[in-house]
A and B are shown apart, each in its own frame.
Chain A
């Protein structure tokens, strides 16, 4: 055993280290020696490597990427890093690109995959991934029958943080696998949100709005309450489908799964698929004008009423 934990790091749209890096390196430190891998972003490379060391990477492997090819260059780099570090486990965020990259690594080099872990631990037999299944109705632990497991970690789920390390970076030589990949013909980055609102993933407070808000303009009420509380903004799928907010706001089974201290649902009926993304929240508040709405079954405090009347009252009371 090498005790190495290979950590694939994500980079945000603005070229900085993704927030998930801190939790991945925190988790890795609890298991062994965190070795980070960064692929591409050559223009930000030094700053990224420094940030990774600050977040706890004992070594940072730097590999060239290929801006024109989807995922395969990352898998090739992972395979080279895997060979070099012989890790006891591979950790990556359960983000679109990283989960695909590590799953491909797993079938390429022959590892078991444990997905969407909310925690990782180590016992005498190896690394164990802990999951929250079916919207938190079950907790499940999984591990690999043998060999190093590849584990994807749900973003915003791990509290542990690693201590700062001195920077030790190394260029990684990667042999191309020449496997076929989709071509990236263009990249469009949406403007950064102008507010200082917290990110939905991992937020401590969330205010979500549903179809009951009626329109994109009226959805501003949700944002107003969120800002009064310092909360992140979420939405139901119906609100996303209706175009009130972008898809990245969706909470639920097929959206973001959150577990904040406070979750406020406004004009959301509480369909089972919405509940699957928020029912592990510590305190749930619901405001809905239909007293039979299923959201009330899991709410700690429910108000049967019109959001356009109750929420302004609440905002006024909070400001007092």
Chain B
């Protein structure tokens, strides 16, 4: 089985994340770049499936800037078999639909039985790239799963929203997205890191995907305005004593919060 994991490179949520106030784009220089945390759980799922099922190939696919190579190597160090990175000048600041078109073209180029994505990234956080890709490829998609069951022919899983749980299934080829309820990813060990250095890693441009995709061929989403908000300041901090509850109730009353 061929499993392609869609790996997004994002600014580390643990650091300060900045948007460039000129371009409105994520500031790549000032923030540390990592593999999106939820996607790492998707990688973990694919890699553990491969460990238990001989003949499974796990491919990490990403669309990002050239600098993402280092970040993507981590997917190989975790255990993915090879990496494909789509880099193109024309993709700088790509919106959701352009991202989906490029990923769909790359997926057709690579070939797949199962596509694994995160349910939403931690930066753009739109959570719709996977659905758009599934629409373009005309394959069934099981979004935002809490649990999953995969075999050579079929993928089934539970999609959980506020009060409703849907049991979903689809024959392969299909696409599924994992949620943060999936198992935490492994840390790459020394052996994995060394092995990753020898694993195939391809960097491709749009032209090499055999599709004519341009930012101009469809309407795109553009940022027209951006403003930063001043950080919040802290107010009073008191050490608890026997009057804390009463004092807080008074604070709430004074500020018309109760």
A190 CB within 8 Å of chain B: yes
B125 CB within 8 Å of chain A: yes
**A253-B13 contact, Cβ under 8 Å, with A183-B168, A291-B237:** yes
Minimum Cβ distance to chain B for residue A290 (Å): 12
**Are B163 and A116 in contact, with the CB atoms below 8 A?**
no
**Are A116 and B125 in contact, with the CB atoms below 8 A?**
yes
Minimum Cβ distance to chain A for residue B173 (Å): 9
**Are A96 and B159 in contact, with the CB atoms below 8 A?**
yes
Partner of B24 from A140, A248, A299, A318 at Cβ < 8 Å: A140
Interface residue SS majority, chain B:
mixed
A158 CB within 8 Å of chain B: no
Q: Which residue of A lies closest to B135 (CB)?
A: A104
A184 CB within 8 Å of chain B: yes
Point out the residues of chain B lying under 8 angstroms from A146, CB to CB: 219
B contact residues, range: 35 or more
> B residues 180-237 with Cβ under 8 Å of A?
180-181, 218-229, 231-232, 234-237
**Are A254 and B257 in contact, with the CB atoms below 8 A?**
no
B174 CB within 8 Å of chain A: yes
Q: Which residues of A approach B to under 8 Å, CB–CB?
A: 13, 70-71, 75, 95-97, 99-100, 103-104, 106-108, 110-116, 128, 133-134, 136-147, 149, 152, 179-190, 192, 205, 229, 237, 247-248, 253-254, 261-262, 272-273, 276, 279, 283-285, 287, 291, 296-306, 309-318, 320
Q: When each residue 99-116 of chain B gets 1 if its CB lies under 8 Å from chain A and 0 otherwise, what string results?
A: 011000000000000000
B142 CB within 8 Å of chain A: yes
* Complex Cα–Cα for A139 and B224 (A): 11
Point out the residues of chain B lying under 8 angstroms from A75, CB to CB: 135
Q: Which residue of A lies closest to B161 (CB)?
A: A96
B141 CB within 8 Å of chain A: yes
Partner of A299 from B96, B135, B227, B234 at Cβ < 8 Å: B234
**Are B236 and A301 in contact, with the CB atoms below 8 A?**
yes
**Are A107 and B122 in contact, with the CB atoms below 8 A?**
no
B166 CB within 8 Å of chain A: yes
**Are A296 and B240 in contact, with the CB atoms below 8 A?**
no
Partner of B163 from A71, A112, A192, A315 at Cβ < 8 Å: A192
